[in-house]
Amino acid sequence: MPNHLATSRLNGKYGSKIINVIRLITKWKMLPVRCSYRYVIFCLATEKMIQLWLLSEDYLYIFLSSQISSRLSNLRLFKGGLSNMLFQCSLPDTIETVADEPRTVLLRLYGAILQMRSCNKGGSGQAQKENDLQGAEAVVLESVMFAILAERALGPKLYGIFPQGRLEEFIPSRKLDTEELSVPDISAEIAEKMAKFHGMKMPFNKEPKWLFGTMEKYLNQVMRIKFTRESRVRKLNKILSYNLPQEMKNLRSLLEATPSPVVFCHNDCQEGNILLLDGREDSEKQKLMLIDFEYSSYNYRGFDIANHFCEWMYDYVHEKYPFFKANFMNYPTKKQQLHFITSYLAASQSGFENLSHEDKSKIEEDMLVEINRFALASHIFWGLWSIIQAKISSIEFGYMDYALSRFDAYFEQKRKLKV
């Protein structure tokens, strides 16, 4: 076994419900699939062992013991994720479930974003230890958050956790397409879902440190990144020529002067994280579900809405390099923004619909300013994130091209706002 692989063991310490899920796993057939994770996970249950081995940087092999190799099922890899690897795992019809054991689950293997690793090797032992602790803390917080949202029926059920991922309820559905974000009834329901999300009280630090704390951490990593591939070096140098520390300083000053309530935010409300539920496609309401809460935290309301608006411009389902398409003309118009804002306010502020036209207009115009300023933060945040992913991720995606696109959009937004 290659010595660079990490190992972990899942046992009964998470309780009987987790053991039931492990029992389910022991019935699965899993085949070699394209993957980018350097993990070995041992799942031990009822004296049967499954090994997930990454024997190269390209293929994840999942081996079953001889005792269970004849009990086969299905594994399906979902495409399109930029942070995690997702698998749909199902029992065959020949195997009966026990009690409330699910027939199908979603297996999520965490991506690099939750590991919080440094981009460059050779750092101090203390720095690496701090990175490891931050990664462990991030995983724990995200798991707690996921469990709470599931309990409140705001997300899929949680079936089990282990150090490199978790097992979730599989929701029969499909992810939205980018062009569907602008459909009026879908946009209105996303606004309502976001308003409900923002109204939650969560047991986490409520100070809005996440946005600039994360961006500053990303910026520090970006300033230390060294690429060897000439095309990446050229693109990184172009981005560094923008004087990012000064841009960050100017952005902080602008947003500190922009009123925006601190609420519990999703922080990644893009089409891939919004499910259209099977059988409810023609319903006027309650046909959507928000998923993937790994970036969620207390943050400024303006960022969450602005980030969603920015995602109208990006389509991540594209077969050819760089595997995304950007169209700045798709950023929502003022009319589309007001449609979203009105739906959001109706769901988040009791009595909003009874206000005078003048009072409504004042609130809406203030939110337009708030949101469009925070769109600048969205572009810098994901631009920096993408540079880091270009260094540490093996997912097939044009991360440096995406980073350049986000910074192009940032400067275009600055031009429109005249700031």
| Residue type at 109 in one-letter notation | L
- Residues, the chain, total? 419
The model's confidence at residue 47, banded by pLDDT at 50, 70 and 90, is: very low
Where do the H-state alpha helices sit in 95-209? 112-115, 125-151, 184-198
Per-residue b/e over 198-220, b at no fewer than 16 CB within 10 Å? beeebeeeeebebbbebbeebbe
The topology (CATH level 3) of 14-169 is Phosphorylase Kinase; domain 1 (3.30.200)
Global pTM value: 0.80
- Low-confidence winner among 13-27, 217-231, 336-350 (lowest mean pLDDT): 13-27
Annotate 189-238 with DSSP letters as a single string.
HHHHHHHHHHT---SS--SS-HHHHHHHHHHHHHHH----SHHHHHHHHH
Asked if pLDDT for residue 60 goes beyond 80, the answer is no
- Helices 184-198, 334-348: axis angle to 10 degrees equals 40
Note the pLDDT of residue 130.
59
Note the pLDDT of residue 19.
34
Domain spans, the chain: 14-169, 173-417
Structure tokens at 156: 């899929």
Domain 173-417 has CATH 3.90.1200.10: yes
Dihedral sign for Cα 167, 148, 154, 307, please.
negative
Note the pLDDT of residue 124.
53
Residue 301: DSSP 8-state: H
Average of pLDDT values for 209-235? 97
Give the side-chain half-sphere CA count within 13 A for 146.
23
- Residue 278: Cβ within 10 Å count: 11
- Low-confidence winner among 268-272, 289-293, 392-396, 411-415 (lowest mean pLDDT): 392-396
Asked if pLDDT for residue 15 goes beyond 80, the answer is no
- The four Cα atoms 181, 167, 295, 322 give a dihedral, to 10 degrees, of -60
- Specify whether the CB–CB gap between 309 and 328 falls below 8 A: no
Note the pLDDT of residue 118.
41
CA 289/CA 279 separation, integer angstroms: 13
Beta strands in 150-296 (DSSP E): 158-162, 165-169, 173-175, 262-265, 274-277, 288-290
